[in-house]
């Protein structure tokens, strides 16, 4: 296991989801903030998605979510972020033994593909089995749907405390009925399904992340940075 290498997962799903006709996909800052945090701490970062492809969540591109230095990094084709994004691996193209942190970024697109992303889940399980950290932010914890602890054969989050985007937040965004219509499980649903304890912030938009052993989760875009910091601390401590 390399102590200074992170595998940052992206959703491959990029299609119309919102009622205004906008597409979902990767929520920019939920990949950008962790990427920049890991790089500043001296970690190498590789991107991976189940298919080797990805697209952006169009709602995440507005200035409410993407401004200042974040927007500069995003628009600058020569930024470290964009140069690394030019090469998206599939799980088959990476060796889990090379990574000490598996970090699942998010966007509503994850609700479609992460629960079925068996290759991504296998890599995450291997990283965890090797003593590494599995982290996820916002909708990213739906990756735990079917993800097992290789040493016990049990669900990785069984008996653990996790967080992730709240059901209250889905209602506030007006996507709860869309999710129901499409048969999509929320993070709270996944926690219940696998016997995890779901912890919610006081407000759905608060910066809130938690650590339970080598499992680290955060609740929303504002928590992407703190989730990455906690991932490093969980590994190094």
Which candidate in 50, 126, 170, 188 is catalytic?
Answer: 170
Is residue 74 exposed (0-12), middle (13-18) or buried (19+ Cβ within 10 Å)? Answer: buried
233 in catalytic set? no
At CA 153, angle to CA 51 and CA 103, rounded to 5? 40
Query: If phi over 0 gives left and psi between -120 and 50 gives alpha, with beta otherwise, what is residue 154?
Result: beta
Contacts of 182 (CB under 8 A, 6+ apart): 112
Which candidate in 139, 188, 233, 236 is catalytic?
Answer: 139
What is the C-alpha separation between 72 and 66, in angstroms, rounded? 9
Is residue 177 exposed (0-12), middle (13-18) or buried (19+ Cβ within 10 Å)? Answer: exposed
DSSP per-residue string spanning 39-63: HHTT-EEEEEESSS---B-GGGGST
Which candidate in 59, 138, 233, 236 is catalytic?
Answer: 138
26 neighbors 56 (Cβ within 8 angstroms): yes
At CA 38, angle to CA 33 and CA 39, rounded to 5? 100
Chain length of the chain:
237
What is the C-alpha separation between 55 and 196, in angstroms, rounded? 30
5 neighbors 35 (Cβ within 8 angstroms): no
170 in catalytic set? yes
Please identify every residue annotated as catalytic: 138-139, 170
């Amino acid at each position: 296991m390399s102590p200074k290498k992170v595998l940052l997962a992206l959703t491959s799903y990029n299609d119309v989801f919102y009622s205004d006709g906008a597409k979902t996909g990767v929520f920019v800052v939920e990949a950008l903030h962790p990427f920049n945090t890991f790089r500043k701490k001296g970690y190498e970062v590789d991107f991976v998605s189940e298919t080797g492809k990805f697209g952006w969540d169009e709602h995440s591109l507005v200035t409410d979510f993407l401004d200042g230095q974040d927007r500069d990094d995003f628009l600058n084709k020569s930024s470290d972020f964009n140069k690394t994004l030019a090469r998206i691996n599939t799980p088959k193209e990476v060796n889990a033994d090379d990574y000490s942190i598996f970090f699942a970024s998010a966007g509503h697109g994850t609700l479609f593909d992460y629960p079925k992303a068996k290759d991504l889940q296998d890599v995450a399980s291997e990283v965890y089995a090797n003593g590494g950290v599995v982290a996820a932010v916002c909708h990213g914890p739906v990756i735990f749907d079917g993800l097992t602890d290789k040493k016990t054969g049990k669900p990785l989050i069984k008996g653990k405390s996790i967080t992730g985007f709240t059901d209250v937040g889905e209602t506030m965004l007006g996507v709860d009925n869309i999710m129901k219509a499409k048969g999509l499980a929320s993070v709270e649903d996944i926690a219940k399904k696998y016997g995890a304890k779901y912890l919610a912030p006081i407000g759905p938009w608060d910066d809130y992340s938690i650590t339970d052993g080598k499992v680290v989760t955060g609740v929303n875009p504002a928590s992407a940075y703190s989730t990455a910091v906690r991932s490093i601390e969980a590994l190094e401590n």
